[in-house]
Amino acid sequence: MGVSYPMTPIKTFSSRSGLPTPHAFTLIELLTVIAIIGVLASLLLTALASAKKKARTTVCTSNLRQFTVALDAFLDDSGGKRPSVDDLVAAKYLPATNTLICPEDKTGNWGQWVQTGGSLLISAPGQGSVNYSYLLEPLSWDDAEWWLLQNSGDRAGVAACQLHGLGNQRTPNIRNYSGLLLRAQLDGSVLRRQFFWSVSPQFGNSTMAGSAAPIPLDPLQIFFDDPANWQGYQ
């Protein structure tokens, strides 16, 4: 009766070097590795995009805070006389004009473009005045409206950035954006609000008693938290 011996695998050798031929990856193994790399890359890109967006929001918050500090200093020095943006820059209360530009502003002059209804050419930004990204309508309100804002305490703001929300910058309309809103208060704080439009455009303009001219309701929604604060305009 013969003795059986275990079979040993036969090694294959390269015809040139005499070394064993390396085992090649199968198609399934290659596809699995590629899929894993793709998932990791997408996660990394998403994290980087989120970090960049947060960084831009932080820069904008700092800009708004610097603006309110400059405005407060000007109001103290001028006895309460409201300045224009040009006044703040010319008097060196805002020596760095880049603090008026939001990193999300692709036009480089969103605030003026919106305020002028698109009549301001963004290809020639500012046309002799200072460019700015922020909504600064309260600076142009008359005394009665400004008094309402001042007496609203921490419920109302004086400058706002809507460019961190969802929308587009193709047309100069503040209704193009909703979602995250950064709003600077007179006390120097900057609030984060999830803002969505609640009044339809057909409400038009309204006038407050003692106001020289009607102002749109849309900006009031941005600068006042509680609708009760601006119902007096209706």
Q: Residue 26, class by beta-carbon neighbours within 10 Å (0-12 exposed, 13-18 middle, 19+ buried)?
A: exposed
According to the model, what pLDDT value does residue 60 have? 96
**Which tokens go with 173?**
């309309």
Return d(Cα 226, Cα 208) in angstroms, integer. Answer: 17
According to the model, what pLDDT value does residue 150 have? 78
Return d(Cα 233, Cα 227) in angstroms, integer. Answer: 10
Query: At residue 223, what are phi and psi to the nearest 5 degrees?
Result: -95, -10
According to the model, what pLDDT value does residue 208 have? 45
Q: Is 65 left (phi over 0), alpha (psi -120 to 50) or beta?
A: alpha
Q: Name 215's bridge partners.
A: 206
Where are the domains positioned within the chain? Answer: 27-233
According to the model, what pLDDT value does residue 221 have? 83
Predicted TM-score of the model (pTM): 0.72
Return d(Cα 147, Cα 143) in angstroms, integer. Answer: 6
According to the model, what pLDDT value does residue 179 have? 93
Query: At residue 151, what are phi and psi to the nearest 5 degrees?
Result: -90, 5
Instruction: Calculate the CA dihedral of residues 69, 70, 73, 77 and round it to 10 degrees.
Output: -170
Q: Going edge to edge, which strands form the sheet with 190-195? A: 157-161, 179-185, 190-195
Return d(Cα 181, Cα 184) in angstroms, integer. Answer: 10
**β-pair type (190-195, 179-185):** antiparallel
According to the model, what pLDDT value does residue 183 have? 95
163, 102 contact by CB (below 8 A)? yes
- What Rg, from alpha-carbon coordinates, does the chain have? 30
Place of tokens 């109001």: 75
pLDDT tens digits, the chain, 234 residues: what are they? 555 555 555 555 455 555 566 667 787 878 888 888 888 888 777 777 777 888 999 999 999 999 999 999 999 998 888 898 999 999 999 988 899 999 999 999 999 898 887 766 554 444 457 899 999 988 888 887 788 787 776 677 899 999 999 999 988 888 899 999 999 998 889 999 999 887 544 444 444 444 444 555 677 788 888 755 555 544
* Total Cβ atoms within 10 A of residue 106: 13
Query: At residue 171, what are phi and psi to the nearest 5 degrees?
Result: -130, 145
